[in-house]
Structure 1
Amino acid sequence: MTGVLPSQAIEKMFQRGEITLAQPLVEGQVQPASLDLRLGTVAYRVRASFLAGQDCSVADRISEFEMHRIDLTDGAVLEKGCVYLVPLMEGLALPQDVSAVANAKSSTGRLDLLTRTITDGGVEFDRIKPGYSGPLYAEICPRSFSVLVRPGMRLNQIRFRRGQAVLSDAELADLHQQSPLVDGTAVIEDGLGFSVDLRLPGSDLVGYRAKPHTGVIDLDRIGEYDPQDYWEEVHSTSGRIILDPGAFYILVSREAVQIPPAYAAEMAPYLAMVGEFRVHYAGFFDPGFGHDAAGGTGSRGVLEVRCHEAPFVLEHGQVVGRLVYERMSALPEQLYGAGIASNYQGQGLKLSKHFKSPR
């Protein structure tokens, strides 16, 4: 069947040797429509980000660009502004009719921890051709905070696809009629558009901006950090804010989004013409995200925003990105938020899981 492969199909890939493991799977690693990827035991500090390039291996590139290597066994700090390459515990031997796409996990994106997957012979980040056989690597560049990592940590995830199953705008409009995808008017153009909310009910707090000089974040520590030590609150009474070049913001979508069980979605930038900023670093929405959430109103999408080039005025309701919907090849046996300890079901404006609830 054409479409994104569900959890039960991913598990069969292990049985057939299409996904290889340096260490046994851990609980929760297989998600409804994706597989979490785990850091290995060593990190290479490299001079610059790179792709292997056609007919070249990542190992050859490492030997060219390596500055030093770091043993992660007992934990190690990846410093803000540096670029690291980490071999992952998972490898692939894909069939000729299955491709893959990777992305940062939600908590990774909310820490401004740029994490991309590269492969031998790869000419694109996060895109893996059908039939690829070889190792996987995570390129990690902490942008706002230095982080403490250990082997087995899961910073990015991978989806597997058979064929093309992206919904056309007409198909997306039909799906919205059958099962509303947003709680308001659906803006459909090359996907489902979503806008930024700068008028949150009962508050002039509209987001957070990363502080420039902070301590290290241990990625194993959940709910332990005081947001005030790492974030400045962003307030607005006018429905607009000015984004500063180079600054990193956490904002929230105006729309509450739903992903029906037979579909998955990926967040994509809207159009470069609307402003010089990036609106996401983590882009997978699993089947069931926001579906039948409390009150039946879906879940907001958290926006990880970085402004480029020049200060930019962001207005309430401005369309800043889109969701591209795809069919699942089969219904997953487990949906997002349904008993699998999903961190962001029913979310609003929310920092990563490492932080205490703001006072």
Structure 2
Amino acid sequence: MPNAMNGVLPNQQISAMIESGAIAADPAVTAAQIQPASLDLRLGNVAYRVRASFLAGQGAKVADRLAEFEMHRVDLSDGAVLEKGCVYVVPLMETLALSEDVSAVANAKSSTGRLDLLTRTITDGGTEFDRIAPGYTGPLYAEICPRSFSVLVRPGMRLNQIRFGSGDATLDDDALRTLHDKTPLVDGTAVIDEGLGFSVDLRLPGTSLVGYRAKPHTGVIDLEKIGHYAPADYWEEVHSTNGQIILDPGAFYILVSREAVTIPPAYAAEMAPYLAMVGEFRVHYAGFFDPGFGHAEAGGAGSRGVLEVRCHEAPFVLEHGQVVGRLVYEHMAQIPSQLYGADIASNYQGQGLKLSKHFRAA
């Protein structure tokens, strides 16, 4: 692939990696998989139901560990249900042959996270989920654990995505403040501390509806069906009149950030958890934020961040304006030739509180 300055590789460099064979696939990668700063990965033809989540470990292959943990195989060719609470490993159609100066990080796609569908990437020799070392050559696998809803999947579906980079592209707090002064990243005061902090909005204008909570016993969701399902069949509405809600242990919530976020074209961002000390919950950090998200040049005017929240051991009072997560910004190696929203069919540009694309609009 062509030489580039340090940074996250844009769509045109991902295309060059495909042409050079650094990214290979059977069947071949399609143009629809290539996002401004990432590549969507596709499920293969079989899922392995395993006893537990695992990493290959240094020097070991995922295929060998599958023989150790496999319970049974599920043929996905005609579609198959992945059951809530079970763990599956699915070989992906894409393989990598990275150069020694390129590493990668994977993450669940936005719609995947909003279904509480835990999806992580594992590799041969891997000692971390979703982190792929420079120079990695080999296959990719998705570990999938549906946590709120059973889902119907088919080969070629895209549940996770991968971002490539060279060197350290992360902006430190001083660089982030400078960027915010030049191009405001949020519509208000920027809380910058190891990234751009964002808070929860529990006082939405004109309504007491502040979020959704996944129902515990629902039907299957066919991931191919867009705008199909009635939200009330899968979600309970969460209302607040005092700017507070109580999170129940084990429950999964869709909430929204108070801030409208902007990602300028020369940057990308990743959602990361905030300090564990602020409460017994976590904001799911499933998402990449592509260049152009919420940016005026890409048809946005700031877009809210959807928060995928799970409470842990004890009930917890969440209050309006509480900081719950942060965005870590990275600079691009080059400005992408396509931006989120403007040039591609982006589902969440200009979003507010919004369920995944599989549900009908309220």
For 1:174, the equivalent position in structure 2 comes to: 178
- Equivalent pair of 2:82/2:152 in contact (CA under 8 Å): yes
Deviations 1:149-196 (A, max 9, x none): 000000000000100010010000000010000000000000000000
Determine the structure 1 residue equivalent to 2:37. Answer: 33
Aligned: 1:257 with 2:268? no
CA offsets 1:217-266 (integer angstroms, 9 cap, x no match): 00000000000000000000010100001000000000000000000000
Alpha-carbon separation, structure 2, partners of 1:137 and 1:167: 30
Show the counterpart of 1:305: 309
Q: Confirm whether residue 239 of structure 1 aligns to residue 243 of structure 2.
A: yes
Partner of 1:343: 347
| Structure 1: 4+ residue segments shifted above 3 A | 293-297
SS at structure 1 position matched to 2:33: coil
> Contact between 1:148 and 1:218, CA under 8 Å: does it hold in 2?
yes
Separation (CA, whole Å) in 1 of partners of 2:36 and 2:184: 21
Equivalent residue for 1:159, pick from 160, 163, 172? 163
TM-score with structure 1 setting the length? 0.98
How large is the RMSD of aligned CA atoms in angstroms?
A: 1.0
Match of 1:66 among 48, 65, 70: 70
Partners of 1:183 and 1:297 within 8 A in 2 = no
Partner Cα separation in structure 2 for residue 322 and residue 316 of structure 1: 16
- Correspondent of 2:194 among 190, 206, 224: 190
Question: Taking structure 1 as reference, are residues 122 and 294 closer, same or farther at Cα in structure 2, changes over 3 Å only?
Answer: closer
Structure 2 letter corresponding to 1:142: P
Cα gap change, 1:182 to 1:65, in 2 (>3 Å): same
Match of 1:106 among 104, 110, 121: 110
Name stretches of at least 5 consecutive residues in structure 2 with no aligned partner: none
Name structure 1 gaps, 5 residues minimum. none
1:316 is aligned, of 317, 320, 324, to 320
Shift of the 241–294 alpha-carbon distance from structure 1 to 2, 3 Å rule, reads farther
User: Could you tell me how far apart the structure 2 residues matched to 1:285 and 1:265 are?
Assistant: 5
User: Does structure 1 residue 282 correspond to structure 2 residue 286?
Assistant: yes
Tell me: CA distance 1:109–1:281, structure 2 relative to 1, closer, same or farther (3 Å).
farther
1:22 Cα deviation from its structure 2 partner: 1.3
Which residue, 118, 125, 132 being the options, matches 2:122?
Answer: 118
**Please, what TM-score do these two structures have when normalized by structure 2?**
0.98
Letter of the 1:30 counterpart: I
1: CA distance, partners of 2:285 / 2:227: 21
Aligned to 1:202: 206
Does the 8 Å CA contact 1:32/1:335 hold for their aligned counterparts? yes
Report percent identity of matched pairs. 80
Q: Which residue of 12, 20, 23 corresponds with 1:16?
A: 20
**Alpha-carbon separation, structure 2, partners of 1:69 and 1:296:** 44
Partner of 1:291: 295
8 Å Cα contact 1:105/1:157 also seen in 2: yes
Structure 1 residue 20 displacement after superposition: 1.2
Question: Counterpart in 1 of 2:46?
Answer: 42
Checking the alignment, whether the CA contact within 8 Å between 2:173 and 2:194 is kept in structure 1 is: yes
- Name the residue aligned to 2:90: 86
Cα distance in 1 for residues equivalent to 2:300 and 2:39? 27
Q: Is the 8 A contact 2:283 2:309 kept in 1?
A: yes
Aligned residues: 358
Shift of 1:296: 5.9
- Once the two structures are superposed, the pairs formed by residues 124-139 of structure 1 within 5 Å of their partners are 124-139=128-143
Q: How does 1:203-218 map to 2 (within 5 A)?
A: 203-218=207-222
SS of the residue aligned with 2:329? strand
- Per the TM alignment, residue 293 of structure 1 is displaced from its structure 2 partner at its CA by 7.4
